[in-house]
Amino acid sequence: MALKARDDPELFRGSLERIGLNRCIRGLTMTRIATIDKSGAWARWRHGCVNVLGHLPRVLAFSLLSPWLAAQPHLDDCIASEVQPEAIDLDQPRNLLTRQSDLVIPQGARIGDIRIVRRPIFDLSDPQQDNVLYRALNALNTPTWESALRAQLLFREGDRYQPELLAESERLLREREYLTAAWVGVTRICGQELEVSVLVRDTWTLLPSVGASRSGGENTANTGISDPNFLGSGKNVGIGYRRDPDRTETSVFYDDPNVLGSRWQSGFAFDDRSDGHGRRVYVQRPFYREAASWRAGLSAEDDEREESRFVGAEAIADYRRSLESVSVDVGWRLAERGERQLRLLTGYRYEALEFTRLPDEPALDVLPTDRTLSYPWIGFDYRENRFREMVNLTRLQRVEDVRDGFVWRTELGYSPTGLGATEDRVVLGMDFEDALLATETSFARYGVGQRGNYRLDEDRFENLQGTLDVEYFHGGSVHWNSWYTQLSFTAAYNLTADQTLLIGGDNGLRGYPSEYQQGNRRVLWTLERRYFPPWYPFKLFRLGGVLFTDVGRAWFHDGRNNGPDDGVLTDLGFGLRLASSRIEVQRILHLDFAFPLNGDDSIDSVQVLLRGRAEF
């Protein structure tokens, strides 16, 4: 039976401060070393305690006196929350929504101790998980470093308690691929000091990948090995091979979300392709938290590949496309009022696109024109920082953080020939997203986006695109089934030959081949009935089911040929979803059977789509 810790700094500081155990004294008040188990051994030592070995007699004497000191009536009790991380069932996602309503946080309280509680992949205290395979996986897995977890937190010991930082830290931890679940909360109060517990569970991340998928009548295969938590460090390392109808590709990549434990991020990727290559590198300090005061970033890309020219949704010839780009940007938080925040953004971008005919391909009627944009830009980001936790929204039995507010970002740039551009252009960009409805059972949001540029030499817009998207979820957070619907519309104006709107296969309309229709207008409506059964086989997999229908069309506003069937297309189908709660938790396996209800005779009566996706 654990004894309660007491808080009397004046009593212990004089005796132990002299032997260099200042942090141990603070640990005493936070139950770092004052909680004694049945055997009388110390239950938890603060990692900052030093010089213990040279003063064992004093420490032993202190340990013997601790029960007596704990019983003194003039010392104040620490108050422990009824909600402790050890009691939270991570296999029940709604348990993660539990908060400490029984604690009253004193005004001006500070964080005295941060307790990291790491759960292994499998809970061997559960008879269903205590077997040879699961024990071996636990033994082979390298637990996430405590330093890697602390680097994600937005608070430190000694900081003033701010509940919004705990909530945001929990959201950041949930974003990490190497964690199945995360929970952050206050678990003990000792006077003006708080104990904050951080509960996480690792996932098996070192995973060879061998797979294949079929979508829109085309096959894709991949193999490789990756680890988003390399040796428990939180770094993402991988190598892979991919083959699809367009190319084969070998890739190597590395991402570091906290360089040397800082807020800086960096990474690179190298792709060796059958039709070219790809190289990308970046370093940045993002707005790592909603209230971060500044950001900065630098990125560069060199990409070469072969692309297809489509006429009537049919690829008639290939050409080579080469891209070189560099981007530098900085940003500052300008103002904040309540939950709303305004950021100023500025930077410089260089983007050069070159297009070349291939010698063995048929002559193209139109080859995209080379173009270079080189421009400084300025913009702003205006957002509402309000979030809601929900379950079974886009993931299977996972807690998700959805923004219950708006984000409005806009950019304006000028690309003159004096900076190396091929033409004088004004570059425009805007995105707006807002939640329409957010309740315990329902969530709806919409977004509006616009991209393009205005050519001053020809007095016209080029590659101008605007998109409206609306989504609605109902029921999944509290029931084992839900409804989902999405409606999107895109309109484009003066597209260059390398730009087109496609529909079919991976571009929507699961019952039709990829790129079945093309145009400068596109509309797609999807309706799904989703199922989340409680069955949890082997405590390893989460299952889901879906019934769906897709309705859509891509077309040219001037009546040009848009594909084999120029009308509205409709399909019906059903599918299965499979996600692991222990391995590669960011991916959901999709197996869909889609039946086209119209179209020409060239398409199959059923389309089978097997693929991995990040969402349901």
Residue 97 has pLDDT above 90, yes or no: no
Q: What is the pLDDT of residue 53?
A: 42
pLDDT score at 52: 42
Q: Give residue 247's pLDDT.
A: 83
Q: 221-225, 301-305, 323-327: which range is least confident on average?
A: 221-225
- State residue 466's pLDDT score: 97
Per-residue CA distances from 611 to 137, 222, 581, 614 (Å):
26, 11, 18, 10
In tens, the pLDDT along 168-191 reads: 999 999 888 888 889 999 999 998
- Cα 411 to Cα 322, 348, 383, 448, distances in angstroms: 25, 12, 15, 14
- Look-up of token digits 């792709």: 271
CB atoms within 10 A of CB 12: 19
- Among 205-209, 231-235, 358-362, the minimum mean pLDDT is found in 205-209
CA 573 to chain centre: 29
Mean pLDDT of 196-207: 86
pLDDT for 99: 65
What's the pLDDT score for residue 211?
Answer: 58
Query: What band does 218 get if pLDDT is binned at 50, 70 and 90?
Result: low
Q: How far is residue 144's CA from residue 228's CA, in Å, rounded to a whole number? A: 11
Domains and CATH numbers, the chain: 1-75 (no CATH), 78-204 (3.10.20.310), 500-616 (no CATH)
Give the residue with greater pLDDT, 160 vs 612: 160
In the chain, the percentage of residues whose pLDDT exceeds 70 is 81
Please say whether the beta carbons of 552 and 591 come within 8 A.
no
Residue pair 234/145 in contact by the 8 Å Cβ criterion: yes
pLDDT reading at 49 higher than 50: no
Q: In the predicted model, what is the mean pLDDT of residues 204-233? A: 72
pLDDT for 400 = 87
In DSSP terms, 332 is beta-bridged to 294, 344
The pLDDT-based confidence of 515 (bands split at 50, 70, 90) is confident
* pLDDT over 90 percentage in the chain: 44
At 172 the three-state DSSP class reads: helix
Tell me how far apart the alpha carbons of residues 43 and 41 are, in angstroms, rounded to a whole number: 6
- What are the backbone angles phi and psi of residue 67, rounded to the nearest 5°? -60, -40
pLDDT band at 214 (very low <50, low <70, confident <90, very high): low
Q: pLDDT-based confidence at 408, cuts 50/70/90?
A: very high
**β-pair partners for 547:** 529, 574
| Least trusted range by pLDDT, from 89-93, 225-229, 263-267 | 89-93
Torsion of CA 339, 344, 348, 352, to 10 degrees: 40
For residues 105 and 119, what is the distance between their CA atoms, to the nearest angstrom? Answer: 27
Residue 166 has pLDDT above 50, yes or no: yes
pLDDT beyond 60 at 22: no
Q: What pLDDT does 23 receive? A: 41
Q: What is the mean pLDDT of residues 539-558?
A: 92
Q: Give the global pTM.
A: 0.80
Report the pLDDT value the prediction gives residue 556, as an integer from 0 to 100. Answer: 92
Burial zone of 447 (CB within 10 Å; 0-12 exposed, 13-18 middle, 19+ buried): middle
Question: Across the chain, what does the average pLDDT equal?
Answer: 83
Cα–Cα distance for residue pair 442/473, rounded to 1 Å: 6
For residue 159 the two structure tokens come to 């900081």
What does the pLDDT average to over 234-250?
86
| Residue count of the chain | 616
pLDDT at residue 415 is higher than 90: yes
233 confidence band (pLDDT: 50, 70, 90)? confident
pLDDT over 70 (residue 255):
yes
Token pair belonging to 507:
């571009």
- pLDDT, tens digit, 9 for 90 and up, residues 121-130: 888 888 888 8
* Contacts made by residues 535-542, CB under 8 angstroms, sequence distance 24+: 536/91, 536/581, 538/128, 539/91, 539/122, 539/126, 539/128, 539/129, 539/581, 539/582, 540/580, 540/581, 540/582, 540/583, 541/578, 541/579, 541/580, 541/581, 542/396, 542/397, 542/578, 542/579, 542/580, 542/581
Pick left, alpha or beta for residue 559 (phi over 0 → left; psi -120 to 50 → alpha; otherwise beta).
left
